[in-house]
Amino acid sequence: MNENGVIFLFGKVMEDLNMYIEEIKPGFPDCAGRRFNEKGWEEIYIEFEYLSSNFKLHKHNPKECDLIVCWEHDWPECN
């Protein structure tokens, strides 16, 4: 598995999570999408990682991302 596998699998379950993808692009964040909540459809920014700790390793700014989607959550300090 790798990050591309994470993206593929997310595409299979995103409707079950009341989400859809508007754009996947190179660079950070990987994806712009929408998530349905009690207020309607909100814009969200998603970063895909094989390991959640890669988010920290890549020095991504958490203020520019709403959600990390990963295969393995190995970053216990992440909240």
Query: HEC profile for 37-64?
Result: ECCEEEEEEEEEEEECHHHHHCCCCHHH
78 part of a folded domain: no
Closest listed residue to residue 47, CA positions, set 27, 17, 67, 63: 67
Whether pLDDT at 79 is above 80: no
47 part of a folded domain: yes
Instruction: Please state, in angstroms and rounded to a whole number, the distance separating the CA atoms of residues 35 and 77.
Output: 25
Number of structural domains the chain divides into: 1
Task: Give residue 5's pLDDT.
Answer: 95
The share of the chain scoring above pLDDT 70, in percent, equals 99
**What domain range is 42 assigned to?**
3-72
Task: Give residue 74's pLDDT.
Answer: 95
Task: Give residue 11's pLDDT.
Answer: 95
Whether pLDDT at 2 is above 90: yes
25 part of a folded domain: yes
Question: Can you tell me the mean pLDDT for 53-76?
Answer: 95
11 part of a folded domain: yes
12 part of a folded domain: yes
